[in-house]
Amino acid sequence: MPSVKDLRYLKDSTHQKHTLDVYIPEGEGTFPVFVFIHGGSWYEGSKDIYTQLGENLAEKGLVTVIINYRLGGEANYLDMASDCSKALKWVADAIDWYKGQKYNLFLAGHSAGGHLAALITLNKKFLGEAFITQHIKGCILIDAFGLNMDYVLVNNTAFFAKELRKVFTDIPTNWKDAAPVHFIDNTPVPFLILVGSETYPYLTFDNALFITQLDHHHIRNTQYTLRGKNHRDMVIRMKDKKDEAYSRIVEFVKKNS
């Protein structure tokens, strides 16, 4: 599949994290767009390790954009959400050059990337209601972590939670602001939620609570438990183009395009 690497989504920035890659389906015409935010506990990760994901999705008929964003150590959750939002706005402005349909965007993320995808989809301060309504046709969460971030930070005193406070600050009101679950209201965006059967117990709970709130607010959502997969498997096994996650994603995109 043809691809274009290291495109800058912030014209005036030279930061390597302000870049993205585009994977383009072969053939004539235009295609729906899948925008992927990588995971890595808000501290690690890079678009560069998802080449096969991009190629596989392009082969299945989706223009695929994989973005970088600033990570913990130099950025907090607001900075990360801002970077992801600006990348998405770049996609809406430029993706027609790469055979993408700018009014047919599907925002996705794994783990911490799922948190950021849900946050900027639901909290209108990042993208604005008009942009969300016009451009985002679906949000895909792949073993997302932190959908109820305030609950995590209030109820978990382990070392990892202490590290998270460097990203989500020591201010409890910020923890609620960082939790996508609190911004579920009347969004028009449907959700696809994929969770591994062998993932961390907290993630199972986190996603189940999020789904309960989507249902409470009558937000369209589809959920699948992918059998035999742990948290890392959810993206590592997507190196195999026959992985079940692809059929679920393609089905969701076709239904909502």
pLDDT value, residue 76: 95
pLDDT in tens, 204-216: 999 999 999 999 9
For tokens 């409890």, name the residue: 172
pLDDT value, residue 97: 97
Cβ neighbours of residue 197 closer than 8 Å, sequence gap 6 or more: 225, 226, 227, 228, 229
DSSP 114-177: HHHHHHHHH-HHHH-HHHHHHHEEEEEEES---TTHHHHHHH--SHHHHHHHHHH-S-HHHHHH
pLDDT value, residue 166: 85
For tokens 């589809």, name the residue: 222
CA–CA gap between residue 137 and residue 123 (Å, rounded) = 16
pLDDT value, residue 157: 57
pLDDT value, residue 156: 66
Residue 172 tokens read as 């409890």
pLDDT band at 5 (very low <50, low <70, confident <90, very high): very high
pLDDT of residue 70 exceeding 70, the answer is yes
Radius of gyration of the chain (CA): 17
pLDDT of residue 133 exceeding 90, the answer is yes
Measured from the Cβ of residue 247, the count of other Cβ atoms closer than 10 Å reads: 12
pLDDT band at 146 (very low <50, low <70, confident <90, very high): very high
pLDDT in tens, 217-244: 999 999 999 999 999 999 999 999 999 9
Average confidence (pLDDT) over 167-195: 93
Residue 228 tokens read as 């035999």
Q: How far is CA 95 from CA 31, 32, 87, 98, in A?
A: 10, 10, 11, 5
CA–CA gap between residue 203 and residue 112 (Å, rounded) = 11
CA–CA gap between residue 151 and residue 45 (Å, rounded) = 24
High-pLDDT (> 90) share of the chain, %:
87
β-bridge mates for residue 108, sequence order: 36, 140
Average confidence (pLDDT) over 115-139: 97
CA–CA gap between residue 187 and residue 132 (Å, rounded) = 9
- The CA-based angle 150-236-100, given to 5 degrees, is 85
pLDDT in tens, 151-169: 888 776 555 667 788 899 8
130 closest CA partner among 84, 89, 98: 89
Q: Where are the domains of the chain?
A: 3-256
pLDDT of residue 183 exceeding 70, the answer is yes
pLDDT in tens, 28-60: 999 999 999 999 999 999 999 999 999 999 999
The average confidence (pLDDT) of the chain is 95
Say if residues 118 and 139 touch (Cβ distance below 8 Å): yes
Measured from the Cβ of residue 70, the count of other Cβ atoms closer than 10 Å reads: 18
Q: Which fold has domain 3-256?
A: Rossmann fold (3.40.50)
CA–CA gap between residue 172 and residue 178 (Å, rounded) = 10
